[in-house]
Amino acid sequence: MNIIVHIGHGKTGSSSIQSTLLKNSLELVAQGFFYTGLNFEHMASKNFLWQRADGWNDLLYSPQDRVDVELVSIISQVIDEARAKDCHTIIWSNESLFGHHALVGNAIEHIRAQGHEFHVVGYIRRHDSWALSAYKQWGLKHKTYPGKIKTFDEWMATQNIRFAGALHLWASGNWVRFSVRNFDACNDVVEDFLGFCGIDFSSLEIIRENDSPSLVALGLWTIFNSQFDGEVLPKELNSFLMQYGLIGSSIEHVDMGALLPDSKALKAVLDERLGDINALNEYLKASGQPPLDITPNDGVLEPITESIILSALLKVVKDQNEQLKNLQQRLSQLEKSLLKE
């Protein structure tokens, strides 16, 4: 059996590859390819708790001897299942594999020693573009840390962006093929991966996942996430942004700071009107009132920024959206009860 292991790296189109494989799973089986999922969750047999798309951490934090036994068991089962489907190739795709060769290496070597052929493929990209994409995803859109939103420099200080060390471990294996692909040079990473596998994708539906959001959406995520001290998942705002078509839209920028006057501009207003001020002060004096105080105001004006306005509006709109959803649910329940009568 041929077994293709796609190891990522993250932020190199892995989600799009996985979504495309899943969407076209029946067509792939017809071509002889069986896609197992990230953690073998697409198998017919479910024997382990970590066999789900979000089950990686359950596997990662299990004792190594248990991981070895369970992985050997599940890969053996997936081989049997693939054969039953008349498939010649299994595809295992999980970007978390990139940095965890030690976790899965023993089990893979055990299966390889039985005569099965492994093909390992990984994607890399230039570090600066990876860092910017990752910061937008895990620094702003998905707030993965406590406290205030971090600047790019603050976020980067917590990251170890090095790829070669992990690849060295994978490169040392006895693979039929070991291929490192240049994500930046790919016109379409999904089609590149399918081509590597030998899949005819001319009739497949190509899925795009996690494309960069518009600056509008990213800004709204950032403002919304800034209101919370803890971690905030993208789903907290995603449905709202999708509903109103803001994920990919653009809006004309307005610089409130440039519109409002600074202290110098306000002083000029007074300086140009000293004659009028003096005349007014005469009236005030005659009425027993103190004169106008025209002492220059050197203090900094309180800024009225877009973020302050948007923070307030976003809260109002999101609350209204939740109220509307609740009303729609109540209306739906009412309609159902009326139909029963």
pLDDT at 315: 80
CB 121 within 8 A of CB 196: yes
* 107-116 pLDDT per residue, tens: 999 999 999 9
Q: What confidence category does residue 249 fall into, taking pLDDT thresholds of 50, 70 and 90? A: low
DSSP state of 135: I
| Token code pair at residue 268 | 């000029």
CA–CA separation, 82 and 158 (whole Å): 42
For residue 329, pLDDT over 60 is answered with: yes
The DSSP annotation for 188-215 comes to -HHHHHHHHHT---TTS-----SPPPPH
DSSP string for 288-302: TPPPP------SPPP
What's the pLDDT at 121? Answer: 93
Residue 300 predicted with pLDDT over 70: no
Q: What pLDDT was estimated at residue 255?
A: 66
Q: Are strands 177-182 and 89-93 parallel, antiparallel or unpaired?
A: unpaired
Distances (CA, A) of 338 to 8, 243, 332: 52, 28, 10
Percentage above 90 pLDDT, the chain = 53
Q: For residue 301, name the pLDDT band (cuts at 50, 70, 90).
A: low
Range with the largest mean pLDDT of 133-142, 191-200, 302-311: 191-200
pLDDT at position 132 over 80: yes
Q: In this predicted structure, what is the pLDDT of residue 120?
A: 94
Q: With 80 as the cut, is the pLDDT of residue 243 above it?
A: no
pLDDT > 70: percent of the chain? 92
Give the full edge-to-edge strand order of the sheet including 89-93.
Answer: 33-37, 89-93, 2-6, 117-124, 177-182
Q: List, for residues 53-89, the tens digit of each pLDDT value.
A: 999 999 999 999 999 999 999 999 999 999 999 999 9
Position 302 pLDDT exceeds 70: no
Query: Per mean pLDDT, which of 137-146, 243-252, 317-326 is the most reliable?
Result: 137-146
pLDDT at position 29 is 98
Q: Mean pLDDT over all residues of the chain?
A: 88
Residue 340: pLDDT band (50, 70, 90) is confident
How far apart are alpha carbons 298 and 329 in whole angstroms? 55
β-pairing, 89-93 vs 33-37, is parallel
pTM reported for the whole predicted model:
0.74
Task: Look up residue 214 and give its amino acid.
Answer: S
How high is the pLDDT of residue 263?
76
Where are the alpha helices (H) located in the chain, listed in sequence order?
Answer: 14-23, 25-31, 56-60, 64-84, 101-112, 127-134, 152-156, 164-171, 189-197, 215-225, 235-243, 256-259, 263-271, 274-286, 306-340
The answer, yes or no, to whether residue 312 has pLDDT greater than 80, is: no
Which region holds residue 8: left if phi is over 0, alpha if psi is between -120 and 50, else beta? left
Nearest to 148 by CA among 223, 240, 241, 236: 223
Residue 317 pLDDT: 83
Q: Range with the lowest mean pLDDT among 32-36, 93-97, 159-163?
A: 159-163
Distance CA 166, CA 51 (A): 24
As a whole number, mean pLDDT of residues 145-162 equals 90
Quickly state the pLDDT bin for 335 (edges 50, 70, 90).
confident
Closest CA to 95 of 39, 34, 159, 156: 39
What is the pLDDT, as a whole number, of residue 19?
A: 96
Does 142 sit behind a cis peptide bond, omega within 30 degrees of 0 on the bond before it?
no
Q: pLDDT value at position 256?
A: 55
Phi/psi at 288 (5° precision): 75, 20
**Domains, in order of start, for the chain:** 2-134+161-211 (3.40.50), 216-254+303-340 (no CATH)
By the 8 A CB rule, do 234 and 210 touch? no
